[in-house]
Structure formats: C-alpha cells, structure tokens
Amino acid sequence: MSSRNPPLPPILLDEGFRLLFPAAAIHGALWPLIWTMLYGLDLPLAHAIPVSQWHAHEMIFGTYGMALAGFLTTTMPEWTDTPRRRDRDLLWLLGLWLPGRIAGLFGADLLAGLTGVTDAAFLLLLTWFISKPLLDRRSTKHLSFAIWCGLFAGLEIAIRLAWVTGAHQLSGRLLEAALAVFLVFLSLSVARINVVVINLALDPSGETTPYRPHPGRQNLAAGLVALYVAALLVLPNSLASAFLALAAGAAFFDRLAEWFIGRAVLKAEVLGLAGANLMAGLGFLVVGLAGLGAPVAAHTGLHLLSMGSLGLAVISVFIIAGLRHTGRDLVLPRQGHWALALMLLAALVRTLPELGIGERLLGLHYALAALLWAAAFGVWLHAFLPYFKAPALVSPSTD
C-alpha cells in the first residue's frame, strides 16, 4: 500500500473556483490568526523588511492574489466560450503560490528573493491563462483584465527587488500601488457581476433583465484609480496623488447610484457589492484627505480599502460564484450572511477607533479585527466547501 498522501478529489480540480477559492480562504483565515495570537503582530524571521510590509504583501498577493486566480480562471472561459483551466493547470498555480505564503507566514527575509520568483511566476502564468482565450478568439473585449494582471505581476517583481536591495520606502509605495491595482480589478469585475446580481434580485426567475447599468459608471472609477497609481509611482511627493485619490473616491460613491433599485437592494448579495464600493469611496476619501494634511492617517484609509472594500468584494464573489457555479439559486445560506457581516465588522473594528469612534478599542483592535476577519473566511469555507466537493446541481449559466 502506498504511503503517499491521498490525491485531491478530482472534482476540486475541475474548475478554478473549486480549488483556488478555498486555498485563498484558508490563507486568509489562518495567517492573521497566527500573526496576532502567536507572534503578537511580529514575525520571527523578519529583520530588515518591515513587518507591516510583510502583512500587506500577504493580504494583497497571498489571499487576494489567489482569490483573483480563482475568479479569472473561472470567468474568463465563460466570457470567451473557451475550455476552462483544470487539473494540472490549477495545481501549477497552487504550487507556485504556496512557497511565498510559507515565507510570508514567518516573514522570512532571506527567502524574499527566491519566493519572489515563484510569486512572479504564479502571476505571469495566471496572466497567460487569461490571455490565451483572448488570443484564441482574437478578442479584445476583456483585454483589460490581462493588462492589469500583467501590471500586478510587474509590481510584485518590483516589490521583491526593492526588498532585496533595501529600498523599503519604495517597496511601501509599490505595495500601495498594488493595492490600488486590485481596486481596479474590483471596479472592472463588479461592473460585470453587478448586472447579473441586481437583475436576479429584481427578477429571481431570470426571465427578464430590467436593470441596465449607466455606461459612464462602468470604467470611470477604474480609470481614476489608474491615474492615482501613476501619480503614486511617478509623482510620490506631489499633491497630485491626494487629489486623484479624492476623485477616485467620488467615482466609487457615484457607483452607489446603481444600487437605487428599491427593496431589492436589501438583499445581502446586493448589499455586499454596494458595501465594497462604499468602503472604496471612504478609503480613498481618507487617503486623499491625509495627503492634503487633514488630521487623519493614510494607513486608516488603506485599511478601509484593503479590509473593507476588497474584503467585502472577495467574500461577495466567493458567495455569488460559489452558488452560481455549483448550480444553486442565488439565495444565500445563513453562513453567507454571517460571513459578510463578520467581514464588515472586521473592517470597522480595524479603522473606526483610529477615526475617533470606539477609541477604547485602540490597541486591542488589531487582534479583534484579525479574529473577525479570520472568522469571515472560516464561516464561508465551512458552508461552501461541501458545495465545491460535490458535482454541480445544474450546469452554471454563462450570462
């Protein structure tokens, strides 16, 4: 009898979301708990690279990077009507992603260069996986995702080079740019997902599509965030990035007009996506005001963006895709509601005390926010992993 570990269930290798979403959730649940409960926010092998940068990197390129891989390997084949990535392709992504997560768990400065190679390879392979269908179809309709994924890979390479050379001020700025790039992914993705979600909220039968988004809102926020990234990298000491952050925040607030759909807006899946846009607007507002000298901290705005906006967006996508792609109606189980509520609460606990609300939590808010954040991913994983390990009830719609 072989002593090797049993292979993964074949169904988990059948489509990107089945394997990669749970991997992202496990990372999102366990790493912050270990950092706060065992290390006290320190990292045992981090000596030169700032601990805060390790934490930010693992959130952006670890949890969110794998969530992005699960989303794009699932949706791009649908959008282009091409065969989906499965089996060995998914294992390659997982295998290239894992070394960086192990190094990040301990803040292993000495492995920053080596695991930077595997992380860059992971993102470049993902870029190829989403570019290939576009090349096969000779289509440019979703080319923006491939371009931004390639830029995301470039930022990872630049961050690792800055770490290795000791340019930590530059790497901090590059991490902020990477966070902003992920918000571009948020804007582009929600613009597509929201159409389906709101129409199903208005007509659960799916027979009609009463909602049509305003064309001007589809790319405005993404475009302004792109300009903010450019200013952050090219004009780091100017007020341009502060004003562009305010403009990006206003664009995300403007996106909220899409959610004036009556009582259907009270459905959790609709509120989750709306909340992601609201938190993006608030986060960019705080970042912009801090850049103009207001008595608020820029890092508070960055946490509104990272934990609030992207946290809600990722959990929402996990829930929506987890139901739709396993052949289930878009009716959230109670754990879906809890996961969204816990993620929102984590973001509020992390940021509000720094804005003068609930100041008694200052000092404790790091660990409490980490617990709530981990609980959000853990509750989702407990509820949805059984769906992922079973065949789809019906074939998923390609709307």
For residue 1, pLDDT over 80 is answered with: no
Least confident interval from 49-58, 149-158, 261-270: 261-270
For residue 2, pLDDT over 50 is answered with: no
Asked if 333 and 269 touch (Cβ cutoff 8 Å), the reply is: no
Cα diameter, the chain = 68
Check residue 149 and give its pLDDT: 95
Check residue 38 and give its pLDDT: 85
Instruction: Look at 217 and 150; give whichever has higher pLDDT.
Output: 150
Asked if 21 and 322 touch (Cβ cutoff 8 Å), the reply is: yes
Share above pLDDT 70 across residues of the chain, in percent, rounded to a whole number: 95
* Buried/exposed code over 59-90 (b: 16+ C-beta within 10 A; e: otherwise): bbbbbbbbbbbbbbbbbbbebbeeebbbeeeb
Sign of CA dihedral 209, 211, 217, 222: negative
pLDDT, one tens digit per residue, over 323-349 is 999 999 989 999 999 999 999 999 999
Confidence label for 359 from pLDDT (cuts 50, 70 and 90): confident
For residue 206, pLDDT over 90 is answered with: no
- Rounded Cα distance between 150 and 145, Å, is 9
Confidence label for 215 from pLDDT (cuts 50, 70 and 90): low
Asked if 60 and 175 touch (Cβ cutoff 8 Å), the reply is: yes
Mean pLDDT calculated for residue range 307-324? 95
Check residue 310 and give its pLDDT: 96
Check residue 272 and give its pLDDT: 94
**Which of 26-35, 199-208, 358-367: highest mean pLDDT?**
26-35
For residue 5, pLDDT over 80 is answered with: no
For residue 248, pLDDT over 90 is answered with: yes
Confidence label for 213 from pLDDT (cuts 50, 70 and 90): confident
Rounded CA Rg of the chain: 20
Q: Which of 177, 182, 142 is nearest to 158 (CA)?
A: 177
For residue 361, pLDDT over 90 is answered with: no
Least confident interval from 36-40, 77-81, 144-148, 245-249: 36-40
Check residue 4 and give its pLDDT: 54
Round the average pLDDT of the chain to a whole number and report it.
Answer: 91
- Rounded Cα distance between 373 and 360, Å, is 20
Check residue 201 and give its pLDDT: 85
Check residue 127 and give its pLDDT: 97
Q: 0.85 exceeded by the pTM? A: yes
Check residue 8 and give its pLDDT: 62
Mean pLDDT calculated for residue range 69-80? 94
Q: Which of 238, 250, 355, 358 is nearest to 297 (CA)?
A: 355
Mean pLDDT calculated for residue range 237-251? 94
pLDDT, one tens digit per residue, over 27-55 is 999 999 999 888 887 899 999 999 999 99
Least confident interval from 178-192, 212-226, 324-338, 364-378: 212-226
For residue 7, pLDDT over 70 is answered with: no
For residue 399, pLDDT over 70 is answered with: no
- Rounded Cα distance between 326 and 67, Å, is 17
Q: Which two tokens stand for residue 72?
A: 């794009």
Check residue 6 and give its pLDDT: 56
